[in-house]
């Protein structure tokens, strides 16, 4: 048993952390948010060229750093610490993750572009009626033509490729008959409605109307197990992002409680505030533990159960720590001026990302508590 990071992993963390602290300041981020595009291409270019971070989980043969899920965890936690808007999750963790599972010529062809920053992938899986269920699909691929509507696709507006789930057979919620496709984002028949999410990233409604899809675009024809594996990996990565967000929320709140004086003393001198900060601290520590546990079990038979346990725990922590960070800050915590409110927004969106607490508790029950 070993919970230590390797020297390379620590270097990766330090390098990214330094870069983000220097260039991805709160003010710089707010400028991007107000710019309305939901990302900064220069940052993405720096991730690829200056830091090489987009190659973190890929094999050296593809030009990557030779890492895997732990490297994704390291990177995503730092992304959370700076509430980064750019699409590491959808491009590297999800798009790259799917390609690593599929392997072969298509992986060889696409992964180098991801590492170079020129290929960006958006994950078009969830649908308006489907809530958090990956199998609940009305998008169809029939006779080589793709038709349907995907909901809240993050990063679609600046993606070069879309990773799409579509039904080739079976009923709306069947496990069989689901294909995973990688298609060019500008293919004929694709339209988008772009908007920002409440935390300032870009997302789109994506519509397919008779989009021609050749066999070369089909990553896997019976893909639900693969899709679930990729989304479990993404969920573990989002748990790591949450750890970064929550650590900053706790540290900022602790600092504020030491500075802010009311009734002639720091509010952190009051026991009710002390206990609140202790409860927040315990939530953060457990979130970190569960994230490591789930990340280390991604390649085992316990993967799904472990990820759902982690996401349920992290989702609760995100709510508790986020709400109490705002509460201890008082009015200033709900203004746009301070960073704390923006971390709270991201923590809130993470609660429902890839499934709510209830969704993951139910999934865990289904896997582990069968009567």
Partner 1 sequence: MDLNFSAEDNAFRDEVRAFIRDHYPAYLNEKIHEGEEMAKEDFLAWHKVLHQKGWIVPAWPTEYGGTGWTATQRYIWSEETAAADTVRLMPFGLSMVGPVIYTFGTPEQKAKFLPRILSGEDWWCQGYSEPGAGSDLASLRTRAERFTGDDGKEYYRVNGQKTWTTMAQHADWGFFLVRTDPTAKIQEGISFLLIDMKTPGITVRPIITLGGEHEVNEVWLEDVIVPVENRVFHENKGWTCAKFLLAHERTGIAGVAASKRNVERIKDVARKTEDGGEALMANPFFKRKVAELEVDLAALEYTELRTLAGESSGKGPGPESSLLKIKGTEIQQRLTELALEAAGTYGAPYFRSMGEGDNSFAVGPDSARRTAPVYFNMRKTSIYGGSNEIQRNIIAKMVLGL
Q: Which residues bind partner 1 (CB under 8 A)?
A: 36, 126, 128-133, 136, 151-152, 172-173, 193, 195-198, 200, 203, 205, 261-263, 267, 272-273, 319, 323, 326-327, 330-331, 333-337, 341, 344-345, 348-349, 352, 356, 358, 361-362
Query: How far apart, in whole angstroms, are the C-alpha atoms of residue 62 and residue 68?
Result: 13
Minimum distance of partner 1 from residue 321's CB (angstroms): 13
Q: Is 331 exposed, middle or buried (0-12, 13-18, 19+ CB in 10 A)?
A: exposed
Minimum distance of partner 1 from residue 25's CB (angstroms): 20
Minimum distance of partner 1 from residue 254's CB (angstroms): 17
Q: Which is nearer to partner 1, 289 or 352 (CB)?
A: 352
Q: Which is nearer to partner 1, 5 or 133 (CB)?
A: 133
Strand, helix or coil at 149? strand
Is the CB of residue 253 less than 8 Å from the CB of residue 325? yes
Minimum distance of partner 1 from residue 88's CB (angstroms): 18
Strand, helix or coil at 244? helix
Q: Which is nearer to partner 1, 74 or 201 (CB)?
A: 201
CA 38 to each of CA 32, 54, 188: distance values in angstroms, whole numbers, following the listed order: 7, 19, 24
Is the CB of residue 169 less than 8 Å from the CB of residue 176? yes
Query: How far apart, in whole angstroms, are the C-alpha atoms of residue 332 and residue 280?
Result: 19
Q: Which residues pair with 182 in a beta bridge?
A: 163
**Interior/surface letters 175-211, b for 16+ CB within 10 angstroms, e for the rest:** eebbbbbbbebeeeebebebeeeebbbbbbbbbbeeb
Minimum distance of partner 1 from residue 23's CB (angstroms): 25
Q: Which is nearer to partner 1, 23 or 362 (CB)?
A: 362
Q: Which is nearer to partner 1, 57 or 200 (CB)?
A: 200
Q: Which is nearer to partner 1, 162 or 293 (CB)?
A: 162
Is the CB of residue 192 less than 8 Å from the CB of residue 204? yes
Place of tokens 């607490």: 357
Minimum distance of partner 1 from residue 217's CB (angstroms): 25
Minimum distance of partner 1 from residue 347's CB (angstroms): 11
Give residues with Cβ within 8 angstroms of 110, minimum separation 6: 95, 99, 119, 161, 182
Q: Which is nearer to partner 1, 50 or 337 (CB)?
A: 337
């Amino acid at each position: 048993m070993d919970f230590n990071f390797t020297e390379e992993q620590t270097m990766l963390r330090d390098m990214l952390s330094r870069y983000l602290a220097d260039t991805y300041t709160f003010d710089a981020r707010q400028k991007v948010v107000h710019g309305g595009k939901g990302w900064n291409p220069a940052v993405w270019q720096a991730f690829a060229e200056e830091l090489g971070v987009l190659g973190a989980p890929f094999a050296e043969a593809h030009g990557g750093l030779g890492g895997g899920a732990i490297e994704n965890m390291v990177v995503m936690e730092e992304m959370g610490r700076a509430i980064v808007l750019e699409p590491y999750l959808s491009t590297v963790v999800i798009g790259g993750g799917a390609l690593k599972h599929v392997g072969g010529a298509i992986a060889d062809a696409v992964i180098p572009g991801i590492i170079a920053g020129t290929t960006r992938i958006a994950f078009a899986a969830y649908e308006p009626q489907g809530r958090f269920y990956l199998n609940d699909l009305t998008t169809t691929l029939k006779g080589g033509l793709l038709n349907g509507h995907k909901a809240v696709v993050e990063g679609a507006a600046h993606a070069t490729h879309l990773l799409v789930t579509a039904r080739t057979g079976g009923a709306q919620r069947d496990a069989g008959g689901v294909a995973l496709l990688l298609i060019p984002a500008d293919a004929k028949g694709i339209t988008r409605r772009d908007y920002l999410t409440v935390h300032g990233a870009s997302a789109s409604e994506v519509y397919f109307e008779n989009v021609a899809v050749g066999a070369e675009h089909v990553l896997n024809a019976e893909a639900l197990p693969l899709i679930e594996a990729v989304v479990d990996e993404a969920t573990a990565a989002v748990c790591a992002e949450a750890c970064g967000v929550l650590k900053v929320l706790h540290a900022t709140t602790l600092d504020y409680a030491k500075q802010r004086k009311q009734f002639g003393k720091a509010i952190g001198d009051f026991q009710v505030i002390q206990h609140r900060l202790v409860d927040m601290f315990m939530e953060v520590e457990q979130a970190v533990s569960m994230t490591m546990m789930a990340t280390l079990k991604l390649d085992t038979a316990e993967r799904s159960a472990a990820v759902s346990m982690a996401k349920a725990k992290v989702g609760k922590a995100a709510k508790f720590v986020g709400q109490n960070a705002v509460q201890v800050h008082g009015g200033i915590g709900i203004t746009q001026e301070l960073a704390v409110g923006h971390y709270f927004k991201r923590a809130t969106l993470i609660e429902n990302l890839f499934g709510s607490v209830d969704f993951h508790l139910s999934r865990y029950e289904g896997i582990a508590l069968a009567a």
